[in-house]
Structure 1
Amino acid sequence: MEKYGNKNGDSGISGFEIGSNYILIEFSTGSVYEYTYTSAGESNIEAMKRLAISGSGLNGFINTYVKFRYSRKIR
């Protein structure tokens, strides 16, 4: 899991892992969710990847567009 940059200092996300058609998001609570092309849509996943790499805006994007559209909760 790669550490999320959290440039604004107020994110609920602590880490992420990017795959070809998915992204894993680790929240500061320790929970990890998998979002996939199938569950959240290709354009949303690609946007999440860009935001994760940039270290800013990912938590807001998730809350606005894909909050419950994860494929599975890993932990």
Structure 2
Amino acid sequence: MKRYRNLDGNSGVAAYESGDGFIRIRFVNGETYEYTDEVTGRAHVVNMQKLAQAGLGLATYVSRFVHDAYARKL
């Protein structure tokens, strides 16, 4: 997993890993969730991938739009 840059210094996201059609997010509490095109929706996955790369806004996005729409907890 790649360390989340956390540009605002106050994120609940610690790391992420993404590929075609998915993103896995590890939160600071140690829990990791996988979001996929099939379960979460392509638009949401793409948005989360962009936010993850930018290092800003990912935890807020998850909280607001896809909180429980994950494919699986790892």
Report the 3-state secondary structure (helix = DSSP H, G, I; strand = E; otherwise coil) of the residue aligned with 1:15: strand
Show the counterpart of 2:39.
39
Identity of aligned residues (%): 36
Q: Which runs of 5+ in 1 are unaligned?
A: none
Deviation per residue, 1:15-54 (Å, 9 max, x gap): 0001100000000011000000011100000000000000
Report the 3-state secondary structure (helix = DSSP H, G, I; strand = E; otherwise coil) of the residue aligned with 2:35: strand
2:63 is aligned with what amino acid? N
CA distance in 2, matches of 1:38, 1:65: 16
Number of residue pairs aligned between Structure 1 and Structure 2: 74
Q: Which runs of 5+ in 2 are unaligned?
A: none
- Displacement after TM superposition at 1:57 (Å): 0.3
Q: TM-score, normalised by structure 2?
A: 0.98
